[in-house]
Amino acid sequence: MAESAPVTRAPRRERDDTLAARAPWGSISRADIVGAAVRIVEAGGYEEMSIRSLAGDLGVAPMSLYRHIRDKDDLLDEVVDRLLARAWRPAAGQDSWQAWVIDAAARLRQFLVTQPAALHVYLRHPVVSPAAVERMGAMMGVLRRAGLDEAGARSAYGAVHTYTIGFAALEASRAGSAGDQDISSLAHQLAAYTTAGQFMEGLRYLLEGIGMQVRAGREPGS
């Protein structure tokens, strides 16, 4: 009777070393996971980041992360909120509502085109995170103090906000096409419409319309 082939086993020491490299069960928190993801996103690693790779960075099994987050999108919502909280506040004073709104919109556009994770979140669903709500409340307050009523301020905020997100999405999708020598001259002209300068020009058109509503609200008897 022929002998069966010997079973190859991994050395006991290697298995123990692998297990020892992992963090103890329950030693990570949601804050730890979000903090690690923030660092990866800030470093430009959003596209490559996965639950498995993030777990490896934290020294835990992937299933350990699911005790604290639902999925990658749940994680990105909080990551983007943390990053937005650092980025949205205008330097312009609120004594000039136009300057404040321009600064706020420009900062959001810059945030979205330089952070693919943020653009992903804003295009996936309406963002109602703490930083986003704080930003909306601040802009609504500026618009009301300028002379708009609640409905007018909400409408003006919506126009500026959706314009900013839509422009950022188009700008990000066409990034680099202006330098492509293989496209037509007309395509080059159209690519020029998705620049920071064009964003500001379009924003000023919007603010002219909002300004008309502000002036109308200030007129006696209006």
The percent of the chain in helix, strand and coil, each rounded to the nearest 5, is 70, 0, 30
Please give the structure tokens belonging to residue 158.
């919506």
Delimiting residues of CATH 1.10.10.60 domain(s) in the chain: 14-69
Residue 196 has pLDDT above 70, yes or no: yes
Looking at 91-149, list the stretches that DSSP marks H as alpha helix, in order from N- to C-terminal side.
97-114, 116-124, 130-146
Which pairs from 34-37 meet CB under 8 Å and 24+ separation?
Answer: 34/75, 34/78, 34/79, 34/82, 37/75, 37/76, 37/79
Q: Is the pLDDT of residue 42 over 60?
A: yes
Quote the tokens at residue 209: 């319309």
- Number of DSSP helices (H) and strands (E) in the chain, helices first: 11, 0
Per-residue confidence band for 5, with pLDDT thresholds at 50, 70 and 90: very low
Say which DSSP state 163 is in.
Answer: H
Closest CA to 164 of 90, 94, 112: 112
Q: What is the pLDDT of residue 3?
A: 47
Q: Give the Cβ contact number of residue 11 at 10 Å.
A: 8
**The pLDDT value given to residue 71:** 93
What does the pLDDT read at residue 181?
59
Backbone dihedral angles phi then psi of residue 73, each to the nearest 5 degrees: -65, -40
Q: pTM of the predicted model, to two decimals?
A: 0.80
pLDDT in tens, 61-78: 999 999 999 999 999 999
Note the pLDDT of residue 177: 54
CA–CA separation, 138 and 93 (whole Å): 12
For residues 164 and 218, what is the distance between their CA atoms, to the nearest angstrom?
Answer: 27
Least-confidence region, from 20-34, 44-58, 102-116, 152-166: 20-34
* pLDDT given at position 34: 96
Q: Where in the chain is the domain with CATH 1.10.357.10?
A: 80-218
Class of domain 14-69: mainly alpha
Reply yes or no on domain 80-218 having CATH 4.10.320.10.
Answer: no
Q: Which two tokens mark 10? A: 């991994």
Assigned token pair, 73: 């999108």
User: What is the pLDDT confidence band of residue 146, given thresholds at 50, 70 and 90?
Assistant: very high
Residues contacting residue 51 through CB under 8 Å, at least 6 positions apart? 62, 65, 66, 71, 72
Q: Which of 123, 96, 122 is nearest to 207 (CA)?
A: 96
